[in-house]
Structure 1
Amino acid sequence: MTDHDPLQEVALDSETLYQGNFLCLKRDTVRLPDGAVTTREYVKHPGAVVVIPLLDDGRVLLERQFRYPVGQVMIELPAGKLDAGEDPLDCARRELLEETGYSARQWARAGVMHLAIGYSDEILHIYFARDLSAGERQLDEGEFLDVIAMPVDAFLDGCRSGLVTDAKSLSCALWLQNVQRGDWTLDWQDMA
């Protein structure tokens, strides 16, 4: 039995407004903590991963990719959505290889983040990767991106200056900065 939080809203009904290829728009009727009834609209998302790939020379691998909803090319860390039933680490390994052509010998799970809690249930699993080996990219059909490598300090400065504005990359910059300073530790695993 779990404790009931007095701030919790209780779902009374749920309606699917739109079902796309991987996003679903829902409208739920909920009871508020004071007993009033209202609706909540939100996006259901299958979950995703983001990878912080560290090259041996101290640079971080990034991508330049046009993002249609914002109408511009963004600089961001490699990431991708989970397939149904897919383990997040397997997804991270797959996405790193597909998008950058790199595979990693060592992996560390950093944690999770909720990307847009006001309107989506998306959970993003954060992984670090190191001891990288270059290979052939395996981009999905219709996927176009450039892979770039940037010194970590330049990446962090790009986050400060507004060159990097992608929320997942900004959040991961905090992880990277704290790991590099030794304030946060990672449990590295060999994946040979």
Structure 2
Amino acid sequence: MKMKSDKEIVRLSRRTVYQNRWMQVNEDKVRFPAGFEGIYGVVEKPPFAIIIPVHSDGRIQMVQQFRYPIGRRCWELPQGSWEDTPESTPEALARGELAEETGYRAQSMQKIGEMFPAEGLLNQLCHIFVAHGLEEGETSREATETDMETASFSMEEIMAMFENGEMPDANSMAALGYWKMKAGFGL
């Protein structure tokens, strides 16, 4: 049980400055632990899942798409949220995103952890899953994902993509690192 402490930032008021289907941006008036007041920008987004799809030969299924904010195509793990059904279970979300983006269905889906990708400004929670027993099928991509490609890579190839900038996605890096650490520590 979380206990409130005098070392927390307290929200005094909230003003929504922007909102669309995918996010809400708030400006909160806050009181800091030392007693002074200020503002805090908070972006609200529904939870998302990131999936590490592992083939029987150990290769990882990835996706590539154009990422408008950075102006280029990048490889990353399949990931996404369901803005229209935020009450979906994390596993249903992970299974759905895997099938939608790659066409693969998983016989087993194991949740290995959670993370907040940008807790300094974003309240979005990420559920990390590993998928095994992959069976190929048809993709069902959204209209905004029609340029998406999918391919499988060895961990060595993925490391090379990290190093040469083809895979700058922090969520993919964190999920793969956590998965490898967890396996290495026998957790």
Q: CA deviation at 1:176?
A: 3.1
Distance of 2:179 and 2:49 partners within structure 1: 16
The letter for the 1-side match of 2:23 is: L
Percent of paired sites with the same residue: 30
Alignment of 1:68-107 (within 5 A): 68-82=68-82, 83-107=85-109
Query: Residue 59 of structure 1 contacts residue 151 of structure 1 at CA under 8 Å; is this kept in 2?
Result: yes
Alignment of 1:122-133 (within 5 A): 122-133=124-135
Partner residue, 1:46: 46
Structure 2 gaps, min length 5: none
- Matching of residue 155 in structure 1 with residue 185 in structure 2: no
RMSD: 1.5
The letter for the 1-side match of 2:96 is: R
Query: Residue 11 of structure 1 contacts residue 29 of structure 1 at CA under 8 Å; is this kept in 2?
Result: yes
Partner residue, 1:23: 23
Distance of 2:2 and 2:15 partners within structure 1: 26
Q: CA deviation at 1:179?
A: 4.4
Give the TM-score normalised by structure 2. Answer: 0.92
Distance of 2:30 and 2:144 partners within structure 1: 39
Query: Residue 52 of structure 2 contacts residue 78 of structure 2 at CA under 8 Å; is this kept in 1?
Result: yes
Q: 1:108 aligns with which of 100, 107, 110?
A: 110
Query: Residue 30 of structure 1 contacts residue 40 of structure 1 at CA under 8 Å; is this kept in 2?
Result: yes
Q: CA deviation at 1:141?
A: 2.0
Structure 1 gaps, min length 5: 186-192
- Matching of residue 168 in structure 1 with residue 163 in structure 2: no
Cα-to-partner distance string for 1:98-127 (whole Å, 9 max, x where unaligned)? 110000011111111111112111111100
Query: Residue 156 of structure 1 contacts residue 173 of structure 1 at CA under 8 Å; is this kept in 2?
Result: no
Partner residue, 2:34: 34
Partner residue, 1:189: none
Runs (4+) of structure 1 moved beyond 3 Å? none
The letter for the 1-side match of 2:59 is: R
The letter for the 2-side match of 1:162 is: G
Aligned length: 184
Q: CA deviation at 1:79?
A: 0.4
In structure 2, relative to structure 1, the CA distance for the partners of 1:168 and 1:184 (3 Å cut) is: farther
Q: CA deviation at 1:57?
A: 1.2
Q: 1:117 aligns with which of 98, 116, 119?
A: 119
Partner residue, 1:141: 143
Distance of 2:24 and 2:2 partners within structure 1: 28
In structure 2, relative to structure 1, the CA distance for the partners of 1:121 and 1:30 (3 Å cut) is: same
Give the TM-score normalised by structure 1. Answer: 0.90
